[in-house]
Chain A
């Protein structure tokens, strides 16, 4: 699954560690999410959506 995490994080000038702090996860997890190596659980996806103030469906996109 593709996502817009890297783009939204960069637009806010946050580092991966900043985003990880906001989500309560490790930087390694944020890196895995951004690189598409890991698809988050629903609770984490909702948390990500809340942090960015965007609906889930605009953050995660189906594979091309």
Chain B
């Protein structure tokens, strides 16, 4: 049986590179992020030039926002599909924990709103942003290079 010292001496020096699967996945993720970047610019532009009180402008700001949502969802699903089994487990764990954050914040928000503390819409935004940030933070923590 090979000794641990021998094994670590042999294994350490060349263990910093990326595999082809990783390089392909990162390249594909970068490709998927280009339309998202364009959609963000268009959505921000649409929000800036439209009047929120004018019902006629609703389509102009809503369509880019919807496109942004669909493109983001598409990118996440494609990333999940491209991931190998271990990475997929980590991504799904992060999604599940992010979902827990949303549920907890929604519960607290509803509780506070029912007692007249804060605006329900504000609590909805807090839940959404909190869940999103929680999910991204957990994902970053779990998938950091090990």
A and B interact physically: yes
Cβ-Cβ contact count across A and B, 8 Å cutoff: 77
* Complex alpha-carbon distance, A15 and B121, angstroms: 52
B18 surroundings in chain A (CB, below 8 A):
17, 26-27
Which of chain A's residues have a CB closer than 8 A to the CB of B146?
28, 31-32, 35
**Counting CB contacts under 8 A, is B125 at the interface?**
no
Q: How far is the CA of A25 from the CA of B84 in the complex (A)?
A: 6
Which of B1, B19, B87 lies in contact with A17, CB distance below 8 A?
B19
- Give CA–CA (A31, B86) in the complex, Å: 11
Which residue on B lies nearest to A37, using beta carbons?
Answer: B146
Question: Which B residues are CB-close (under 8 A) to A20?
Answer: 19, 21-22
Q: Quick one: given A10-B6, A11-B2, are A25 and B86 in contact (CB under 8 Å)?
A: yes
Q: Give the residue of B11, B19, B20, B143 whose beta carbon is less than 8 angstroms from that of A6.
A: B11
Name the contact of A15 in the complex, choosing from B2, B14, B87 (C-beta under 8 A).
B14
Q: Is the CB of A21 within 8 A of B20?
A: yes
B85 / chain A contacts, CB cutoff of 8 Å: 25, 29, 40-41, 44
Output the nearest chain B residue to A26 by Cβ-Cβ distance: B22
B-side contacts of A3, CB under 8 Å: none
Q: Are A25 and B21 in contact (CB under 8 A)?
A: yes
Contact partners of A24 in chain B: CB under 8 A: 21, 84
Establish whether residues A10 and B7, one from each chain, have CB atoms under 8 Å apart when the complex forms. Answer: yes
In the complex, chain A residues whose CB is within 8 Å of the CB of B87:
26, 28-29
The 10 closest A-B pairs by CB, nearest first: A20-B19, A15-B14, A10-B10, A17-B17, A29-B86, A25-B84, A26-B22, A16-B15, A10-B7, A10-B11
B residues contacting A by CB (< 8 A) are 1-2, 6-7, 10-11, 14-15, 17-22, 25, 84-87, 89, 143, 145-146
Can you sample 18 A-B contacts with CB below 8 Å? A7-B1, A7-B2, A9-B11, A10-B10, A13-B10, A17-B15, A17-B18, A20-B21, A24-B21, A25-B86, A26-B21, A26-B84, A27-B19, A28-B22, A28-B86, A28-B143, A32-B86, A44-B85
